[in-house]
Chain A
């Protein structure tokens, strides 16, 4: 029988609004993590993703490409690897080698809202610690009831 390598770790469906969602106690068992979230927010935002409760903006960097009504564009910045909107939005984020202690942590993010934008972001956390918690923070908004969040681990 083949070995399962893509393991569901935790999930949440909101029954009210939430200012942020936190995944904690992530073991060092896997090679990569995959985060999938889908739903709406109280306003359109550039959303934050924090690791191990580190909210220092300068510890994060991104480069992204974006397709929206103004056309195609690319930009760089800190902290914000996805956009989220008041209409149905989905985000897929893969965090590579999250449990390694010899490298900064990198992630690839894809985020989609058909009414507003499609985008892809490369994201880096300048820290060599293994990731044990993830905070998904929609910055100046909240996630709405019914929004779903799921975390998966991939075994090498």
Chain B
């Protein structure tokens, strides 16, 4: 049996959407992964940032990012930051790609998340960013819902997101100690 299982897939329809949300996430898996291929309606910019909400909350997040945009690299801190997507002035029909990986999402400790993201643009300005994130609310519980939105616009039509569950296990005689 494959360790990766598609839990749900969604594609934004005509008119765009403020966010994509996955709800009622079962506690059946070990880790979660979200693959996002998206574009923002943010006017006057080639990119926009991605925001993550867990269990309906955008609070109690910390993150550290490393960012390159074609001519320089920088690092800094943020809150519920989860990547970059293409926006209105980026090359037409171009969508950014993001992987968000959340290990041990059902645990009762703070939840780490890891992001690899690119905004995509056929020009000298495009963004690649990696992010270390942490969600640490006062009461650490299993993640049962997550939502992805853009910081300065809506998700455009044809943006898509897929939620995967990854399940640990054993096979093939491999041992660990």
> Chain A residues in contact with chain B, CB under 8 A?
2, 4-12, 21-27, 29, 36, 38, 65-68, 71-72, 87-90, 92, 110-120, 146, 148-153
User: How many Å from the CB of A132 to the closest CB on chain B?
Assistant: 10
17 new A-B contacts, CB < 8 A, other than A23-B174, A120-B130, A148-B103, are A4-B3, A6-B3, A9-B170, A26-B172, A26-B174, A36-B166, A38-B104, A67-B65, A67-B76, A67-B130, A88-B109, A88-B134, A110-B114, A112-B132, A112-B133, A117-B64, A119-B130
The reply to whether B74 and A21 contact each other, CB–CB distance below 8 Å, is: no
Taking a contact as CB atoms under 8 Å apart, the answer to whether B64 and A113 are in contact is yes
Interface residues of B (CB under 8 A from A): 1-4, 30-31, 62-68, 73-77, 101, 103-104, 109-114, 116, 130-134, 136, 166-177
Minimum distance in angstroms from A38 CB to a CB of chain B: 4
What are 27 A-B pairs at a CB distance below 8 A?
Answer: A6-B2, A8-B167, A9-B170, A10-B175, A11-B30, A11-B170, A12-B177, A21-B177, A27-B172, A67-B66, A72-B73, A72-B75, A87-B134, A89-B112, A90-B114, A92-B114, A110-B114, A112-B114, A112-B132, A113-B64, A113-B112, A113-B134, A114-B77, A117-B132, A118-B66, A148-B104, A150-B168
Query: Is A21 within 8 A of B2, CB to CB?
Result: no
Tell me whether chain A's interface is mostly helix, strand or loop, or mixed.
strand
Report how far A88 CA is from B113 CA in the complex, Å: 10
